[in-house]
Amino acid sequence: MNAIKQRILTGWSFIRVLYLVAGITVLISAVSSRQWMAVFVGGYFASMGLFAFGCAGGACFNSRYDKSYPETISNSEEINFEEIK
């Protein structure tokens, strides 16, 4: 129980708050218009913001990007072609 409480109370970022607010907004709108499938979507996004999992927890990007690979090939050679007549 302590781990869940710590996860809810710490690590808040703008994206996490945005997920929570958007999820709650979708939940309220879905319940008021009785669109029950949208309740699940809003609940999912709100829980992502509240419990910090998925993209709201910062797990949407790959932090193992390798910058050692050169963007351009610097060892290129000039190739001369001869025409055969």
| Helical ranges in 1-85 per DSSP H | 2-9, 14-32, 36-51
In a domain, 17, yes or no: yes
Distance of CA 81 to the CA centre of its chain: 49
DSSP single-letter state for residue 5: H
pTM of the predicted model as reported, rounded to 2 decimal places: 0.65
Q: 54 pLDDT exceeds 70?
A: yes
Is the pLDDT reported for residue 85 higher than 80? no
Residue-averaged pLDDT of the chain: 82
* Structural domain containing residue 23: 10-57
Per-residue pLDDT tens for 29-38?
A: 999 999 999 9
Residue 42 lies inside a defined structural domain of this protein: yes
Is the pLDDT at 78 greater than 60? The verdict is: yes
pLDDT of residue 75 exceeding 70: no
Number of domains composing the chain: 1
Would 46 be classed as within a structural domain?
yes
Query: For residue 85, is it within any domain?
Result: no
φ, ψ of residue 65 to 5 degrees: the values are -70, 125
